Amino acid sequence: MYNKLQYISQGNTIEEQLYNIQQALDAGCDWIQMRFKNQTAKDTFALAEAVKFLCEEYLANFIVNDDLHLAEQIAADGVHLGLTDMKINEARAILGNTKIIGGTANTFEDIQNHAKNGADYIGLGPFRFTNTKEKLSPILGLSGYFEILQKMKKNKITIPVFAIGGITLKDVNPLMETGIYGIALSGLITESDEKEKLIQQLNEKLYAKVIV
């Protein structure tokens, strides 16, 4: 199954991005989602090429954020699509069944649609306010996750759900108790001075047996 910890890359230049990604990989992260917004196609392609090489070296999953055609061109492991990006079923028709397709969700209805259209996993958020995203959907908080995960259970929707948005180490246990599958992190990993220790602590919490 999928890794329970996803790192969403940060950095305004190719160099910054590569540095942050390499650091995350070195510290034990094995799922990288490359997020490089508002850049030239040339720079984005150059970064994707370098990240693909790194991920292959570290045996990590490489997911491209938003850009389906880049994911196809570079033969990434998959793509993560936002609510305003291409529809999941259209992406599936282009990428085929062997690639991973994730979809962003803010509501139970979003999850229903993604699951019906063939998404492999859901990035559900935001958990709390985060500066990483410009146009933020309504904050969910613990109660929002619990409510949505209960509806999924009731409707027998079993797609893996990753929580995202301003998550800290102390949030992991209560979040896992809502029934989520894993978490996606950006700033917490990028800004950590002890990345290896942090990732070890996160994985211990993520892979601990949770009684829901």
Which domains, from first to last, does the chain contain?
Answer: 5-206 (3.20.20.70)
pLDDT at 101 over 70: yes
Structure-model confidence comparison of residues 212 and 82, the more confident one: 82
* pLDDT per position as a tens digit, 45-95: 999 999 999 999 999 999 999 999 999 999 999 999 999 999 999 999 999
According to the model, what pLDDT value does residue 129 have? 83
Residue 82: count of CB within 10 angstroms of its CB: 16
**27 burial class (0-12, 13-18, 19+ CB within 10 angstroms)?**
middle
Cα–Cα distance between 170 and 157 in angstroms, integer?
27
* pLDDT per position as a tens digit, 117-147: 999 999 999 999 877 666 678 899 999 999 9
Q: Residue 198 in contact with residue 187, Cβ under 8 Å?
A: no
According to the model, what pLDDT value does residue 133 have? 63
Beta-strand relationship, 182-185 and 161-164 = parallel
Identify residue 208 by its one-letter amino acid code: A
Tell me how far CA of residue 171 lies from CA of 53, 156, 163, 188, in angstroms: 33, 26, 10, 12
State the helix-helix crossing angle for 195-206 and 14-26, rounded to 10 degrees: 60
* pLDDT per position as a tens digit, 183-196: 999 999 999 999 99
* pLDDT per position as a tens digit, 152-194: 999 999 999 999 999 999 999 999 999 999 999 999 999 999 9
DSSP state of 126: -
According to the model, what pLDDT value does residue 210 have? 57
